[in-house]
Amino acid sequence: MAAKGPYIAQRPKRADGRRNYDTILAAARKAFAVSGSDASLEDIAAQAGVAIGTLYRHFPTRASLVEAATRDGLDTLVAEAREYAAGNGPLDALARWMKSAVAHISTFRGLVGILTEAMYDEGTPSHVACTAMHRCGADLLRAAQEAGQVRDDLSPDDLFDLLTAAGWVSENAAPGRDAGTRVLRLMLEGVVLPGKGSVRL
């Protein structure tokens, strides 16, 4: 028998189940935004107006709740990669996507670490989405390298190390300070080949 993959929460078909699922997810997003990834699950259930057992029925683990709360953002990054590639030059497409990626992966404190772990751990609920994000980012990087705009020794793993670093700075910056974008701009200026284009973020 094939090993079961990680549990990924799905929106229920029944109307009452959908209501509970949506209410819990909305409460979780608010709680994560305020308290980070360690937000109390009991408080989330209370804010959603459901018993803790109902929360666990929909989201058996904290990781499954985090995955559901961030799924739309990661799916958006994949869609944006295609959009930017179709409507911009290779360097602009890469830079715009990287800025968007930093914003998504630093939505709340602790998310950067969760997604970094998920990228390399097939047993985590966010692994599939992270792999898809990694793949589309690698495609944008490759296009910029083939256009001779970005140094060719930058690997996809290097790219995601840069994103992780900028994301960590962003999620830990003082309120109102867009430190992640500034750090990302400095990073990009270090990998763009001289005379091959300017970085606009």
User: Model pTM?
Assistant: 0.87
33 vs 180, higher pLDDT: 33
- Give pLDDT, residue 201: 63
- At 76-130, the pLDDT tens digits run 999 999 999 998 899 999 999 999 999 999 999 999 999 999 999 999 999 999 9
- At 16-45, the pLDDT tens digits run 899 999 999 999 999 999 999 999 999 999
Tell me the one-letter amino acid at 65.
L
Once rounded to an integer, what is the mean pLDDT over residues 132-156? 95
Q: Of 153, 143, 118, give the one whose Cα is nearest residue 133.
A: 118
**Interior angle at CA 118, CA 113 and CA 123, nearest 5:** 140
The burial of 90, by beta-carbon neighbours within 10 Å (0-12 exposed, 13-18 middle, 19 or more buried), is given as buried
Categorize the per-residue pLDDT at 1 as very low, low, confident or very high, splitting at 50, 70 and 90.
Answer: very low
